[in-house]
Amino acid sequence: MTQDIFAKLPADRLILASTSQTRQSMLAAAGVAFDVQAAPVDEAGLRDAALAEDMAKDDIAVMLAEMKAQAVSMRLPSGDDSYVLGADQLLVCDDQIFAKPATATAAAQHLHALSGKTHQLITAAVIFRQGQRIWHHIESANMYMRPLDDDFITAYIEAMGDAALHSPGAYQIEGLGAHLFSQITGCHYAILGLPLLQILGFLRPHGLVPHGLVPHGLVPGGLTPAGSSS
């Protein structure tokens, strides 16, 4: 019975426009089937152009997520009505956006800059269908980093290795990064890179969650949950 309830959907119904392993793991753990396509987007160039135009940080996050979803959606074959999910996350401290560090030295510099301060993680998600944006959501979390001394930062960067280069703050909160903080406020899933609860809230009435989890009568016309007979 449990297997039937959590039967997965065809993988071509939802496309994740991201190669992030963390985002993929969150969707998979929630029982959502999906395909993955990398989004050919110049994130750094788009971000720099937006900053030059003094665009609000929240708007930049949404714009970047939208560009990813749009890029994948627009290259789908004509008539493909797959839902395409794009996401982006910005780390903002003292009104500055931090990019991923390129070296261990840069990662240490980021931690020195964030030490003893509160920074924000702004996470945006956008869904496209047939080349049009049909949904978006944005979340912000406050990350209270405790004061870090030089010895701790050096030891931490050594322990993290290349993983310190995978995020702007040189941390993954689900791992050693937990040692950096005294307090966190915000959605755990959004901090990891996807506002998962809101995404699932969108997917349910559109028939894009495991069969058996869609309340009767909420599936829109023309969509049949996977595993149902038509």
Q: Which residues are catalytic, by number?
A: 88
Return all residues near 226 (Cβ < 8 A) that are at least 6 apart: 7, 8, 9, 10, 33, 210, 211
Rounded CA gap, 10 and 12, in Å? 6
Which 3 state secondary structure label does DSSP give 122? strand
CA distance 76 to 124: 22
Q: Give the Cα separation of 133 and 126 in Å (integer).
A: 7
Specify the residue for token string 């039967």. 7
DSSP 146: P
The C-alpha atoms of residue 129 and residue 79 are separated, in whole angstroms, by: 10
Contacts of 154 (CB under 8 A, 6+ apart): 108
Angle at alpha carbon of residue 167, lines to 87 and 13, rounded to 5°: 25
Nearest alpha carbon to residue 126 among 26, 193, 199, 204: 199
C-alpha to C-alpha distance for 155 and 158, rounded to whole angstroms:
5
- 99, 91 in Cβ contact below 8 A? no
